[in-house]
Structure 1
Amino acid sequence: MKTNRFRLIFIIFSTFFVWNCQKQTIDYEKIAIEITKEAKSNLQEKLMKAMKEGGTEAAIPFCQENAMAFTKRLGIAKSVTLKRITDRPRNQMNLFSTEEAKIFSEIQKKKSNDGVFPNRVVSSDESVTVYVPIVVMGQCVQCHGKPENITKETKTTLQRFYPNDQAIGYEVGDLRGLFSVRFPK
């Protein structure tokens, strides 16, 4: 009787131990979506506040001074490397690499009939990187839209803060860039 009880306890303990030792799977894509939603929401909120206080022209210097630093700080807080990347940068530090350009092109080609671009997960021995699309929304075209639809004042401010600006000519629904969320393994 004691032997059977001991065996039962041993089996239960062993099963529990093995179950707990199994490698837990991490849903990197889900976590990346949460991080990028937070980034978009916070940047959008601050940008809209700047626009309310001083118009589109006030939003441009705000972006130049704060967007990259905010993105970097959020990445550090979430223990990831967080970047915004694009083929047509306003800030040259957001220009993507050759490998990222291939991923951007693949995502752009896979736009659904509903206008949704897919995420992309890339895994290596050292990290997992999730690419989340940045899509042009209504308020974005004030600074990123077609040149003929951007006010003279906004164009002048853009030229002053971003003399090599390439981030114009977009329409609502276009793929503006990608969030790159890199998780170390």
Structure 2
Amino acid sequence: MNASTYFLQERIARTVRATLSILVDNEVGALARVVGLFAGRGYNIESLAVAETDHQKHTSRITIVTSGTPQIIEQIKAQLGRLVPVHSVVDLSVDTPGIEREMVLIKVRCNGELRAECLRLVEVFRARVIDITHDSLVLELTGNNSKVERFIELLVPLGLVELGRSGVVALSRGAEPTAVD
């Protein structure tokens, strides 16, 4: 094993997952600047969710899930904090305990025994049937990433046709706001 391979394996072993909650001005180009920072530096975005959070203050919350070494995550947070439309950056995986949820819609082609098995999984996972036809179901599930992944994994052999995921949304626990101006 040469030195570069060793260092690559060492970096991969130290990779951590980070959920960043970023409060920004709700203005044209704000999301593009945040995403552009990731693209320009070669950082990967694993999940992205954004929506207006305060109509009077014209602010939006961007939730980004990314991964990297702890040093890279710190660098991302520092660079985000320097962007003009950004009010605050909170790492919900380190700075404060966070609550994460993701929503998925899944279309499954099934009838007969397969339909019964799908409906059993819906009950076990506390999912919901959103649409039903003679040969298909559309299911909705909300939960943490591992719950969503397990549900999808179990539906694949039953006839999963397609799915759409919302991306992770997250807030800090407790009464205090996740990010303050």
Q: TM-score range by the shorter chain?
A: under 0.3
* Bigger helix fraction: 1
* Bigger strand fraction: 2
> TM-score under structure 1 normalisation?
0.22
> TM-score under structure 2 normalisation?
0.22
